[in-house]
Amino acid sequence: MSEVIFTNEMDEEMTLNMGPHHPSTHGVLRFIISSDGEIIRKAVPDVGYLHRSIEKIGERNTYPGYMPYTDRVDYVAAMFANECWAMACEKLMGITVPKRASYLRVISCELNRIASHMIALGAMAMDIGATTPFPWALRERERINDIIEELCGARLTYNYHRIGGVSFDMPTGWRDKCLKFLDLFDPAMVEFDRLITLNDIFVKRLANVAVITAEEAVDWGLVGPNLRASGVKWDLRKDDAYSVYPELDFDIPVGTGRYGTVGDSWDRFDVRVRECRESSKILRQALDKIDEHPEDDILGKLPKKLKPDCEAYSRVESARGDMGCYVIGKGAEEPYRVRFRTGSFTAMGIIEAKSPGLFLADLVALIASLDVVAPEIDR
């Protein structure tokens, strides 16, 4: 644990402004830090630079017409917001999704999860000062981008899911490309471990830094890999399963405190690495099982008019954890109120509470290890 050193009150306090355009703040966000030398007394985050009023935009778009906007909630992992919105609308109007479409959703989402974690891992290593892993991680991400581009035509803002299913079936030969990628990816992760995850300098830099205990994580509403790194074994895909996840066999990695304390920055890195492997496992199974369901049956039966008078809350396990979408319909073509609950938003809340006593350089490690994406905070 980083040792907290308090000096007497006569010492001068330094106010430091970090951001909005700091390379290691992952997008446009700002911290106002009061520090005593290198030790932080308080770091207050200032967000809102990327606020695009996604929720207000939702109130003036039709239900299907809002789908491309949901891409922009979290552009690093756009599939999940797509799925969350589609699931909310399906729950609202009682639409059943064909099995094949559910499998395509799982496949696209898990590919996206790997891509998103690759950015998170590479960027975190780079923030700490190791530049090599970043292009290594991006290389894998580029391969996924190519695969997804072939599936839906876009590399970043996919707009792939539809209310009731997905927009396209797999193109011919796409499955083999996926499997070929996975055959390359699994050894690449072993290589990645040797390069950075188990690297002695990296481990020493991150072990015992910014420890978040399980109680704190739950209290502050941390979700996804951040929660699991603190030792809480809870994953929406398993514990409150949706889609076809119950048919697939996979493990949930949790923080072990292998080199320090459970819930330190290294654990948060390691959980993401292991999650990538689980995603790879899920992908292999899903690509195998998808053929049990007829081709081109990818869109469920929609009601003639999409004018629900109802409210619903849907959840998906996104790359940044439990993402929720709350929709209220009032019998019009547009929703009355849309609300997105995102993992980065709650993760940012904990930084102010965790920062006192950290070194300035460790704050960078904390932000990077929480994997916050600025547009997902501000929406």
Partner 1 sequence: MTPEAIYEKLKAEFGEEAVPEFHPVSDKNRDAWIAVAPFEIERISEYLKTTGGLSFDYLECITGVDYPDLKKIVVVYHVYSYTQRHRIVLKAFLDRDDPAMPSVVNVWSTANWQERECYDLLGVLFEGHPDLRRLLMPDDWEGHPLRKDFEEKEEYHGIPTVRPNPIELFKIQIPGKEAKAS
- Residue ranges that bind partner 1, judged by CB under 8 A: 47-48, 51, 53, 55-56, 91-92, 218-221, 232, 234, 239-240, 309-313, 315, 322, 324, 326, 328, 336-337, 339, 341, 345-346, 348-350, 353, 378-379
Closer CB to partner 1, residue 228 or residue 277?
228
CB of 341 to partner 1, least distance (A): 4
Nearest to 365 by CA among 129, 56, 50, 102: 129
Choice between 336 and 359, CB closer to partner 1:
336
Concatenated DSSP letters of 53-114? -HHHHHTTS-TGGGHHHHHTTSTTSHHHHHHHHHHHHHHHHTPPPPHHHHHHHHHHHHHHHH
* In the complex, least distance from residue 219 CB atom to partner 1, rounded to whole angstroms: 5
| Residue 216 Cβ vs partner 1, minimum distance, rounded to whole Å | 8
Q: Nearest distance from residue 245's CB to partner 1, in Å?
A: 16
Q: Which residues pair with 44 in a beta bridge?
A: 32
Q: Is residue 150 within 8 Å of 177, Cβ to Cβ? A: yes
Comparison of 146 and 239: residue with beta carbon closer to partner 1: 239
User: How far, CA to CA in Å, does 238 sit from each of 80, 245, 379?
Assistant: 16, 7, 27
Beta carbon nearer to partner 1, 167 or 346: 346
> Minimum distance between the CB of residue 265 and partner 1, rounded to whole angstroms?
20
Q: Which is nearer to partner 1, 234 or 242 (CB)?
A: 234
Q: Which is nearer to partner 1, 253 or 308 (CB)?
A: 308
Q: Which two tokens stand for residue 308?
A: 């629900």
Please name the residues in contact with 96: beta carbons below 8 A apart, sequence gap of 6 or more.
90, 300, 301
What is the smallest separation between the CB atom of 70 and partner 1, expressed in angstroms?
Answer: 16
Helix (H, G, I), strand (E, B) or coil at 129: coil
How far apart are CB 72 and partner 1 at their closest, in Å? Answer: 15
**Closer residue to partner 1, CB minimum distance, 284 or 337:** 337
Residue in 141, 182, 143, 148 with CA at minimum distance from that of residue 166: 148
Q: Are 207 and 264 in contact (CB under 8 A)?
A: yes
Strand arrangement of the beta sheet that strand 39-46 belongs to: 14-18, 30-36, 39-46
